[in-house]
Amino acid sequence: MKQLLYLEIPTPDLAAVRRWLRETYCVPTGKQTASAHGFLWQLPSCVLNVFVWSVQRTTYLKVFCWDGALPDSQRALLTHLTTALRAAFPYHFPELPPLLPDRPIWESLAATYPLTVRYFQRLENGAYDLQRLYWWEHRWRAHVCHPQEPPQVVDLSAAPLAQNQPPDYDIVYLGGALGVIHAAMMAKLGYRVAVVERLAYGRMNREWNISRQEFQVLLDFGLFTPAEFEHIIAAEYRDGFSKFFDSNILPRLKARVLHTPTVLNIAVDTSRLLSLCAAKLALYGGKILDQTEFVRATIAPDCAEVSIRPIGGGTLTSLRTRLVVDAMGSASAIAQQMNQGQAFDSVCPTVGAVVEGLEPTVWPAQYGDVLFSHGDISRGRQLIWELFPGEGEERTIYLFHYHQIHPQNPGSLLEMYEDFFTILPEYRHCDMEQLRFKKATFGYIPGYFHARPRQCALDRILAIGDAAALQSPLVFTGFGSLVRNLPRLSLLLDTALKHDLLAAADLNQISAYQSNIAVTWLFSKGMMVPTGMHLPPERINAMLNTFFGLLAELPSDLGEKFIKDRLSWGLFNRLALIAAWKNPRIIQWIWQMAGGGDLLRWLRSYGTFTREALANALFAGWLPAVLSQLRPRLEPRAPRLWLRLQAWSLALSYSQGQSQPLSLPSRGDTHAP
Contact assessment for residue 579 and residue 550, using Cβ atoms and an 8 Å cutoff: yes
Rg from Cα positions in the chain: 27
Q: What is the CATH number of the domain that holds 549?
A: 3.50.50.60
What Å distances lie between residue 3 and 18, 48, 64, 79, 410, CA to CA?
19, 10, 4, 15, 35
Calpha distance 51→38 (Å, rounded): 4
Q: Average pLDDT in the 103-109 region?
A: 95
Task: Answer yes or no: is pLDDT of 454 > 70.
Answer: no
The answer as to whether 236 is a domain residue is: yes
Name the packing angle between helices 212-221 and 478-498 (round to 10°). Answer: 20
Q: What is the CATH number of the domain that holds 42?
A: 3.30.310.50
Query: Model confidence at 473, in pLDDT bands (50, 70, 90)?
Result: low
Question: Which residues are within 8 A (CB) of 468 and not within 5 positions of it... i.e. 6 or more apart?
Answer: 335, 454, 456, 478, 511, 512
What Å distances lie between residue 610 and 577, 590, 603, 617, 649, CA to CA?
16, 21, 10, 11, 16
Task: Answer yes or no: is pLDDT of 670 > 70.
Answer: no
Q: Are residues 492 and 597 both part of a single domain?
A: yes
Calpha distance 586→527 (Å, rounded): 12
Maximum distance among all Cα pairs of the chain, rounded to whole angstroms: 94
Task: Provide the pLDDT for residue 1.
Answer: 79
The answer as to whether 536 is a domain residue is: yes
The answer as to whether 509 is a domain residue is: yes
Q: Are residues 183 and 258 both part of a single domain?
A: yes
The answer as to whether 372 is a domain residue is: no
Question: Which residues are within 8 A (CB) of 154 and not within 5 positions of it... i.e. 6 or more apart?
Answer: 296, 297, 298, 299, 334, 337, 338, 458, 461
Calpha distance 653→644 (Å, rounded): 15
Dihedral (Cα; 588, 589, 591, 593), 10-degree rounding: 160
Calpha distance 117→440 (Å, rounded): 12
Residue ending a domain, choose from 88, 120, 139 = 88
What are phi and psi for residue 548, nearest 5 degrees? -75, -25
The answer as to whether 113 is a domain residue is: no
Q: Are residues 487 and 623 both part of a single domain?
A: yes
Query: Model confidence at 668, in pLDDT bands (50, 70, 90)?
Result: very low
- The pLDDT mean for the chain works out to 89
Predicted confidence (pLDDT) per residue in 402-451, tens digit:
998 888 999 999 999 999 999 999 998 888 999 999 999 998 887 766 65
Q: Kindly give the residue spans of alpha helices, DSSP state H, lying in 499-555.
A: 504-507, 515-519, 521-525, 539-553
| The residue count for the chain | 673
Q: Are residues 70 and 206 both part of a single domain?
A: no
Q: Are residues 213 and 65 both part of a single domain?
A: no
Q: Are residues 251 and 334 both part of a single domain?
A: yes
Classified as helix, coil or strand, 541 is helix
Question: Which residues are within 8 A (CB) of 478 and not within 5 positions of it... i.e. 6 or more apart?
Answer: 178, 329, 445, 464, 465, 466, 468, 471
Q: Which domain holds residue 548?
A: 154-342+449-669
Q: Are residues 179 and 69 both part of a single domain?
A: no
Q: Are residues 640 and 539 both part of a single domain?
A: yes
The domain tally of the chain equals 2
Residue ending a domain, choose from 45, 70, 88 = 88
Task: Answer yes or no: is pLDDT of 559 > 50.
Answer: yes
For the chain, helix, strand, coil in percent to 5 are 40, 20, 35
Calpha distance 488→62 (Å, rounded): 53
Q: Are residues 206 and 63 both part of a single domain?
A: no
Residue ending a domain, choose from 88, 113, 135 = 88
Predicted confidence (pLDDT) per residue in 513-554, tens digit:
787 877 877 777 778 899 999 999 999 999 999 999 999 998
Task: Provide the pLDDT for residue 472.
Answer: 57
Task: Provide the pLDDT for residue 645.
Answer: 94
Task: Answer yes or no: is pLDDT of 7 > 80.
Answer: yes
Calpha distance 286→183 (Å, rounded): 8
Q: What percent of the chain has pLDDT over 90?
A: 59
Q: Average pLDDT in the 237-254 region?
A: 94
What Å distances lie between residue 67 and 46, 62, 70, 80, CA to CA?
5, 16, 10, 21
Q: 373-376: long-range contacts (C-beta < 8 A, 24 or more apart)?
A: 373/243, 373/244, 373/245, 373/541, 373/544, 374/55, 374/56, 374/245, 374/423, 374/426, 374/427, 375/55, 375/56, 375/58, 375/245, 375/426, 376/8, 376/60, 376/245, 376/248, 376/537, 376/538, 376/540, 376/541
Q: Are residues 76 and 163 both part of a single domain?
A: no
Task: Provide the pLDDT for residue 169.
Answer: 96
Q: Are residues 203 and 287 both part of a single domain?
A: yes
The answer as to whether 135 is a domain residue is: no
317-346 b/e (C-beta count within 10 Å ≥ 16 → b): ebbbbbbbbbbbbbbbbbbbbbbeeebbbb
Predicted confidence (pLDDT) per residue in 47-83, tens digit:
999 999 999 999 999 999 987 788 887 889 999 999 9
Count how many Cα atoms sit within 13 Å of the Cα of residue 358 in the half-sphere of its side chain. Answer: 27
Task: Provide the pLDDT for residue 669.
Answer: 43
Calpha distance 381→251 (Å, rounded): 23
Q: Are residues 161 and 46 both part of a single domain?
A: no
Task: Provide the pLDDT for residue 521.
Answer: 75
pTM confidence score: 0.91
The answer as to whether 179 is a domain residue is: yes
DSSP assigned state of 381: B
Calpha distance 508→459 (Å, rounded): 10
The answer as to whether 202 is a domain residue is: yes
Question: Which residues are within 8 A (CB) of 399 and not within 5 positions of it... i.e. 6 or more apart?
Answer: 350, 351, 352, 383, 384, 385, 416, 419, 420, 423
Identify the CA nearest to 468 among candidates 484, 486, 459, 481. Answer: 481
- Choose the most confident range, by mean pLDDT, from 134-143, 198-207, 564-573: 134-143
Predicted confidence (pLDDT) per residue in 624-664, tens digit:
889 989 999 999 999 999 999 999 998 888 877 776 667 66
Question: Which residues are within 8 A (CB) of 2 and not within 5 positions of it... i.e. 6 or more apart?
Answer: 64, 65, 69
